[in-house]
Structure 1
Amino acid sequence: MDFSKLQSHSKVTTEWAYPQAAPNRTGWLQVDTAPDHSLYWEEYGDPQGEPVMFLHGGPGGACAPVMARFFDPKRYRVILFDQRGCGKSQPTVASHGPQVALTRNTTDYLVDDINALRDALDITGRMHVFGGSWGSTLALVYAIRHPDKVASLILRGIFLGMPEDLAFMYQGNAADYARDPYALTHPGSYVSYPDQWKAFVEVIAPQDRGDMMAAYKAIFDMVPANEAERERQLQAAVAWSVWEGAISNMIPEPADDGKYGEADFALCFAQIEAHFFANNLFLEPDYIVRNIDRIAALPIHIVHGRFDLVCPLTQASRLVEALKDAGAEPATYVKTNAGHSAMEGQTVLALTAIMDGLAPISAA
């Protein structure tokens, strides 16, 4: 039988409006000592254009040059940077270990880092803040604390970080998996990705599956005493990372784990995520919704994939409802026929259209 005509992926192909360009300049900014956290940053587009601060996902992800393609290079000055412990920033879990890389690595510090980068790059007025997934969380927290510095929020794949949001992705039916791996005992991402879920769950012994996130965190917190324990830690980090990478696309590519399967990326990504999740994102419960009135006057643009199983659409719905309760409406709310990844065709089209249609900062 010929299945060659079936759609094989949902990732962006010809949807980009703007070509990939080289950065105008790059650099590192030291933002802290003990340890000496230094952020790697890149600037794209018009050096005199409207500033856009791009906040990547994770926590624990990283930026890539392709992320500058959402923005008209003749209009915008785009700043991409890797958050603490991520990507090319230093120190990382892979280079220095979690005891170093996770020290002074919290949401409060990340918010302060954005202001430090603003100052270092001489951004003095309002800026557009663009973030997806965890980047949407960080963008919202930043705006709540510094609304005077934000011209607009452009948010993709809303992540509010409530316990039930995390349980949907990481817990699912794990507690019952040994008895019946296909039982739909609880809601969760596993429903649509049973093969990938099997690989994620079976890293953890059956007796420890009542709290999958805690079980993984215990492995990450272990100080390896030998090669077998180092391999165990890496295996867990790759399993955690690949699980998220696989379910981020509406149509996964099982033969290609991409960066999620790379050892250094997986160690950083998984351990930073587990660190933030174990500490409730270093935020008070329901912090964003309880403080939504502080940003209700800002233009807020939301794009969310209808088939997102990393951050289900209900999180965007909850944010929109909170804005309405505060007497505001999102400036844009688009539900795309896509999954979680920013690199899916419909999501690329929607985000680019929003950026092309924003009111200039001078008129915002």
Structure 2
Amino acid sequence: MSAGKLAAVPLKGGEAYPPDTPYNEQTLAVSDIHTIYFSQSGNPEGKPVVFIHGGPGVGTSAKDTAYFNPAVYRIVLVDQRGAGKSTPAGELRENTTWDLVSDLERVRGVVGVDKWLVFGGSWGSTLALAYAETHPDRTAGLILRGVYLSRKKELDFSYQDGASHIFPEQWDKFYSHIPEEERHDMMGAYYRRLLRDDDESLLTAKIWDQWEDSIAKLIPDPVLIARTEEDPRFARTLARIEAHYFVNLGFMADGFLVAEEQISKVRHIPVIVVQGRYDIVCPAVNAYDLKRAWGDSFRMYIVDDAGHSAQEPGTRRLLVGAADEFGATLQW
């Protein structure tokens, strides 16, 4: 692993912990439509941390506990609306960033903690920032990976023309699925097809997901790319929810999360960002823009031999190291 030196304070990497079995699993009705699933594992008396999954639409699994020392942390995993074990699967009604922020706050109240460490990667970093800026008094610290700020220029890079210059053969399959007259708005074209409930919609979902999975690691991973072929329900859920959020810019004004009015609410909160140098899904410039907006309490580490995935060795080691450091130093 080679890490860039953007933060003055060194960060010691660590080995991932074995996936932990929940000691508590619950569901919570958060609207007339949605019921969300969350679990707790680790030390019931430990420092609380909430893991915010990516996608949106991916859901959580036991492997998401591996960043946290189970003797130190009380680990809360939350499946966002329509994702994972939350129901109804893939439901788009009453499903916005601000609904998810509200859900996280309700879960915090149910588990009975005053503050928690907030950990999120990719879309999870977006929701983590939205939560922290809404509830800074409930956020003890932030660990972010593969920063995504839900700006139009980021989405244009991934879904309109930018990433095609780096992965042209994968892009060709994604691009060719849409008729030429609609290619000026690839996200919109995919979204219209994903809203249908037919065989073409499922094919569209698989192509959408495989484009993302093809560019998620520095070295493309055939197992990751094949996952949507093996689980059609997951494929449809993930693509539908992602497209729903992306065509709506995360239900925020463009650049909202890095606006001075928002960042001023969280500058006092310690944050560690781990970013793959060759992240094509969420390029490093996103994290750097957040760094420039945030100021001195922002620590950013670039992994020089990694792409987007949290499972790449260098990224995983630094995320574990960040959680270990905060577990030893943060008091709340």
Same fold per TM (> 0.5)? yes
Task: Tell me the residue number matched to 1:308.
Answer: 279
Question: 1:78-93 counterparts in 2 under 5 A?
Answer: 78-93=75-90
**Structure 1 alignment gaps of length 5 or more:** 1-14, 94-100, 173-187, 225-229
Task: Tell me the residue number matched to 2:302.
Answer: 335
What is the distance in 1 between the residues matched to 2:223 and 2:100?
A: 34
The one of 219, 235, 247 aligned to 1:278:
247
| Counterpart code for 2:292 | E
Residue 213 of structure 2 contacts residue 224 of structure 2 at CA under 8 Å; is this kept in 1? Answer: no
Deviation, structure 1 residue 58: 1.1
Larger RCO (alpha carbons 8 Å, 6+ apart): 2
Residue 27 of structure 1 contacts residue 41 of structure 1 at CA under 8 Å; is this kept in 2? Answer: yes
Between stretches 260-269 and 15-24, larger displacement belongs to 15-24
CA gap of 1:313–1:42, structure 2 versus 1, over 3 A, is same
What is the distance in 1 between the residues matched to 2:328 and 2:29?
A: 31
What is the distance in 1 between the residues matched to 2:223 and 2:258?
A: 39
The one of 90, 101, 104 aligned to 1:111:
101
What is the distance in 2 between the residues matched to 1:255 and 1:333?
A: 30
Secondary structure of the equivalent of 2:66? helix
Residue 85 of structure 1 contacts residue 92 of structure 1 at CA under 8 Å; is this kept in 2? Answer: yes
Please report the TM-score for the alignment, with normalisation by the length of structure 1.
0.83
Task: Tell me the residue number matched to 1:28.
Answer: 27
**Deviations 1:43-73 (CA, angstroms, capped at 9, x unpaired):** 1110110000110011111111111000001
Task: Tell me the residue number matched to 2:121.
Answer: 132
Deviation, structure 1 residue 257: 2.2
| Counterpart code for 1:314 | V
Task: Tell me the residue number matched to 1:189.
Answer: 163
Residue 317 of structure 2 corresponds to residue 318 of structure 1: no
Residue 216 of structure 2 contacts residue 307 of structure 2 at CA under 8 Å; is this kept in 1? Answer: yes
Task: Tell me the residue number matched to 1:357.
Answer: 325
Task: Tell me the residue number matched to 1:227.
Answer: none
What is the distance in 2 between the residues matched to 1:362 and 1:296?
A: 16
The one of 192, 200, 206 aligned to 1:238:
206
Secondary structure of the equivalent of 1:72? coil
Task: Tell me the residue number matched to 2:110.
Answer: 120
CA gap of 1:103–1:23, structure 2 versus 1, over 3 A, is same
Task: Tell me the residue number matched to 2:144.
Answer: 155
The one of 71, 74, 85 aligned to 2:71:
74
Between stretches 148-157 and 212-221, larger displacement belongs to 212-221
Deviation, structure 1 residue 191: 2.4
Secondary structure of the equivalent of 2:237? helix
Between stretches 105-114 and 16-25, larger displacement belongs to 16-25
Task: Tell me the residue number matched to 1:183.
Answer: none
Between stretches 75-84 and 22-31, larger displacement belongs to 22-31
What is the distance in 1 between the residues matched to 2:315 and 2:153?
A: 25
What is the distance in 1 between the residues matched to 2:315 and 2:286?
A: 17
Deviation, structure 1 residue 361: 7.3
Task: Tell me the residue number matched to 2:217.
Answer: 249
Please give the root-mean-square deviation of Cα atoms over the aligned residues, in Å.
1.5
Task: Tell me the residue number matched to 2:269.
Answer: 298
**Deviations 1:308-355 (CA, angstroms, capped at 9, x unpaired):** 00000000010000012xxx331x211012111111100110001111
Residue 190 of structure 2 corresponds to residue 216 of structure 1: yes
Residue 54 of structure 2 contacts residue 123 of structure 2 at CA under 8 Å; is this kept in 1? Answer: yes
Residue 126 of structure 1 contacts residue 361 of structure 1 at CA under 8 Å; is this kept in 2? Answer: no
Residue 140 of structure 2 contacts residue 269 of structure 2 at CA under 8 Å; is this kept in 1? Answer: yes
Task: Tell me the residue number matched to 2:9.
Answer: none
Q: Considering only CA atoms, is the larger Rg found in Structure 1 or Structure 2?
A: 1
Secondary structure of the equivalent of 2:194? helix
**Deviations 1:146-166 (CA, angstroms, capped at 9, x unpaired):** 000011000000001111100
CA gap of 1:116–1:255, structure 2 versus 1, over 3 A, is closer
CA gap of 1:340–1:260, structure 2 versus 1, over 3 A, is farther
What is the distance in 2 between the residues matched to 1:88 and 1:255?
A: 22
CA gap of 1:269–1:17, structure 2 versus 1, over 3 A, is closer
| Counterpart code for 2:101 | V
Please report the TM-score for the alignment, with normalisation by the length of structure 2.
0.91
What is the distance in 1 between the residues matched to 2:48 and 2:224?
A: 35
